Every structure is written in C-alpha cells, then in structure tokens.
Chain A
Amino acid sequence: MTVASWPARVAALALLAAQTGCINEDYVFYVTDITVDVDAPGDGPITVVFHHAWQGEGVTGHPLGPIEEVTFDALPATHTLSYPQHAGEGLVLYAWQDDDGDGVLCAPGVDDEASGVTEVEGFPAHQLDAFVTLDALCRGAEGLYP
C-alpha cells in the first residue's frame, strides 16, 4: 500500500472541500509589473502609494483604498504589484516627494513638498506604465482624486 505524502493529503482534502463549497476567504491577486516614472520638482525620494480606484458598494462604496506603499530612491523603476482583485477595482497611483526626509508629506512649517496622482490606463494588464506629475503641494490622495 502506498502512503501518500501529507501535502498530497491536504491537497486532496482541500479539493474535496472546495467541491463541497467550504471556501471561507477567497483571495485573488493579479500580478502586474508597473514601470513608474514621475515629473517631480525636488530632489528627495519618491513615495508611491498604489490604490484601488474604487472599493465597496452601496452607501459604504468609496474612491481609493491603499494597496501598497513603496519608496523609490530613483525613477523610473519597475515594481511588481500583487493587486487584490477581490478588494476593489481600478488602479490609481498617488506619489509624493520627501524633500526633507522626515517621512511625512509636509508638516507644520513645511509647505513645499509636491504630490500628484494618476489613474493607470489599460489596467488590468500584466505590464503597465504609469507616469505621475507632482504638481500639487501638500495634498493627500483624497484631495487629488477623483
């Protein structure tokens, strides 16, 4: 008698479970390589926050919803994003430049750090380009989109 390995047993049980409808959380991640570039007035690192363009439905539906935050020392750069399809739709990039290196966009007494937003066209696709113009000062994503 052949003794199946435990991963195979777990897989078989999981298959049976799926067939009988016992999935609890059902996550779907769409992987995309995004080449990000910006037009920024300053010299500091650029922080990019990848957002859903829309999340939720009904009265609790809303624009934006952060997926991942990445800080780039140099651009253009390509980032591999695991986009959670189960949590929203569309893709928006919000970017800001940290000229003073304090980790925060602007602050009391600092009002000249730039930010910008763009909705990525062509999404979903496994390879994308996104360009963000940082032409607003001290604005959060919610102040720039939609």
Chain B
Amino acid sequence: MRPVPQEALRSPLAARPPLSNHPRMLRTPRVTASRAALPLAALALTVVGCAAPEYGVEYRGATLDVVDMHLHFGEWEAIPPATRRFLAGNFPFPLGLNAESTASSSVSGEGILGQLDGAGIRRGVLFAVYAPRSVGVATNEQAITERQADPDRLYALGSLRFDNWAEDGPAQIDALRAVLSEPGFIGIKLAHAHQHIRFDDPAFFSVYEVAAEFDVPVYLHTGRSPFNGTSQEAPYTDAAFLEDAIAAFPTVPFILGHLGHDFEPDFTEPLDTVLDLAEQYDNVLLEPSALGDEDGFRLPYAMEQIHQRGLVERTIYGSDGPQSPGFVGRYLGDALEAMEAADYSVEEAAAVLAGNFDREFLE
C-alpha cells in the first residue's frame, strides 16, 4: 500500500469535499423531514427499513458500474514497527496516538465496504501481501475472513512469502495453489520492491506457472515506494526487468500496478516503459492506482497517454485504498475527471471502471 504523502494531506486533493458532494456521483437518497413529516418518516422506516446504497457513478450522463481492484486490509500488529511509526506520524493528531484503532476501522472488510458504499462502488478486490520488511503481512487466510463481510462484493488476490525460498518455496507454491481454489480468489498479487525479489530472477517464475495453471492474472507492483524497507533498485522496481517473465508466460496476464511510478517529478520515462510493454505484449495490462500528487499531474497525464496510445482496453481501475477516510471515493473522482479531460467515451470509461476487470478476471 502506498501512503498518501504528507504534502497530499494538505493538497487540494485532500481538501476536496466528500464524494457525496462530487457532481458526478450518485447520491444515496436523502430523507428530508420537516417537523410535521418526521413521525411519518419514522413510521415508514420501521416498515420498509433503511434504503440500500445505490451503486454506480455518473459519467457523461450514463451510470457506470465500478470495480476497485486494489484494496488493502490488514492488522496493525502485522506491520513492522518502523512502518507503524511512519503511518502513525502521518495521521492527524490525535488519531496517531491510537493508530491501531484509527487504522483498524478502515482496513477491515466492513470498513472497506463502507468506503466502497460511500463512493458508489459495487465491488472491490482485497490484496493479500507478504512484505515483512516494509508494509507488513496480510495473509491469504485473513483475506478469506475479510471477504466474508460481503462475499458477493469482495474478491481477493492471493500471495506468498519469498524470504526463505530455497527451503520454503515448494510449500509456498502449494499454499498458493490451495488459496486459488478458495471461492472469490481470482488472481495473484506480487510486490517485488516490497518483497525484495528481482523481477528477472527465474527462481521465482514458478509463481507464473501457477498463474498459468489456474488461468488467473498476476498483479505486480511496479515502480518505487516511499515506505521504509522497500528496495529502490531498478531490478526490483523498473518494469523493463519484467520483460523476460512477460515473454516467457504469454498466457498469463501481467497487471502492471502503479504504471511504474517512481516518485520522481518526471513520470514520463517509467510510464513510457510500462506503456511500451503493453503495446508490445498482449498479456500486459495496466492499473493506474496511487498516482495522486500535489499538482494533480500524474493521473491525468497517465490516463491521457493510455488513451492516446490506444490502451484503454488494457486498463483496469484501482485506487490502492483505503489509505484514509474517503480516499477510495476521492481517487475515483480524480480518475473520472482524468478520463473526462482525456475525452474518454462512455464506453471507454465503462471498460476501465469495470468491463476490462470482468473480462480478465471473471470470464
């Protein structure tokens, strides 16, 4: 999970009104009661119950279904101490004093569903992650549990540990196979920079064999991360080092998450690397999560480049939430604005927001 940089907490993005006030969002129906109508409203509620949230977002007059394919759950105690300090220090005072409580409400299955509801998003994908050196551990077993908050709306990507591969590798592969047989597990999540494995190390390619065996996509974190304990070196972050694996497994969809974003001011080069791979290989997909910045440049630029280079059908929306209250909805709003600015048609926006996900994961 990428944190919202400190400056973003003060940025116009963070200061935007909640999604329910966003001009593009469908609002949950409001009940406005005058004094005279209040008793009648109360009576009506007891009879029919509270109205369910409505799902879908408005784009150019159409209502579009949305899947957020990048959501993190977890337990505070499974995060390394240095990362806990980093996260707690980014919470507004006094929320950081009891960071576990602050975070727990957001990163449970129920908390995530709450953010999805607020954003009008029907479905989401939970990411298991095994990154003890950086962001911590959120296990496949926990993903199974958190999905139960609403198994019709929450999917999951399974993952595995690499830090004792010579000895534990076969057992980890077997465990991955087992979790991919669980209901709702629709792919594999890897984060080479967090898990400290090179993109081009064939010793770890057995994961892609499993993906091919189960006919599921693999999501990969590309680019750097500001978290303590992540690898910053090119073989762990630069998507160019993935080419051998992409070419070796042509039936496995490789979803290049974060579009190679390296937290440098110039986003052009890493984005070009990722888009070049997508143009060259049919099994490369794109995911534009966690591209927010103070200037509001990266996400609109990325969506524009994707559109210009004819890669809309390869792009699957994700946010890298929940991060902070309301983040899931804010990022969706930013993505809609970026697509509007890049002149995405309704059909193109529908593909990015849900259609491409359904095709790659569910068909």
Contacts and interface: CB of A to CB of B under 8 A. Distances in A.
Interface residues of A, number: 21
Secondary structure at the A interface, as helix, strand, loop or mixed, is: loop
Interface in B167-218: 167, 196-198, 200-201, 203-204
Interface stretch (B46-54, B233-241, B257-265): B233-241
A143 B200 CA distance: 11
B241 A140 contact: no
Contacts of A55: 133
Given A65-B133, A108-B243, A138 B201 contact: yes
Interface string A60-73: 11111100000000
Contact of B197 (A61, A63, A138, A140): A140
B165 A56 contact: no
B258 to A, nearest CB: 20
Nearest to B197: A142
A105 B240 CA distance: 14
A60 B136 contact: yes
A1 interface: no
A106 B235 contact: yes
Given A59-B132, A60-B136, A60-B137, A142 B196 contact: yes
A146 B78 contact: no
Contacts of B198: 138-140, 142-143
B132 A143 contact: no
A17 interface: no
Contact of A62 (B163, B166, B235, B241): B163
Which of A56, A59, A105 has the largest number of chain B CB atoms within 10 A? A59
Nearest to A63: B163
B235 A140 contact: yes
Interface in A75-108: 104-108
B80 interface: yes
B162 interface: yes
Contacts of A64: 133, 163, 196
B200 A138 contact: yes
A119 to B, nearest CB: 14
Nearest to B139: A59
Contact of A143 (B137, B165, B244): B165
Contacts of B233: 104
A104 B232 CA distance: 12
B241 A107 contact: yes
Nearest to B161: A62
Contact of B201 (A61, A104, A143): A143
Contacts of B34: none
Contact of A105 (B167, B229, B235): B235
Contact of B80 (A60, A104, A140): A60
B166 A146 contact: yes
A105 B200 CA distance: 11
Nearest to B201: A143
A108 B234 CA distance: 11
B116 to A, nearest CB: 27
Interface of A: 55-56, 59-65, 104-108, 138-143, 146
Please provide the 9 A-B residue pairs with the shortest distance between their CB atoms, ordered closest to farther: A62-B132, A60-B132, A60-B80, A140-B198, A142-B196, A62-B163, A59-B137, A143-B201, A104-B234
30 contacts: A56-B132, A60-B78, A60-B132, A60-B137, A61-B132, A62-B133, A62-B163, A64-B196, A65-B133, A104-B235, A106-B235, A107-B234, A107-B235, A107-B241, A108-B200, A108-B240, A108-B241, A138-B198, A138-B200, A138-B201, A140-B196, A140-B197, A140-B201, A140-B236, A141-B196, A142-B196, A142-B197, A142-B198, A143-B197, A146-B166
Given A60-B78, A140-B197, 16 more contacts: A55-B133, A59-B78, A60-B137, A64-B133, A64-B196, A65-B229, A104-B235, A106-B200, A108-B241, A138-B198, A138-B200, A139-B203, A142-B165, A142-B197, A146-B164, A146-B167
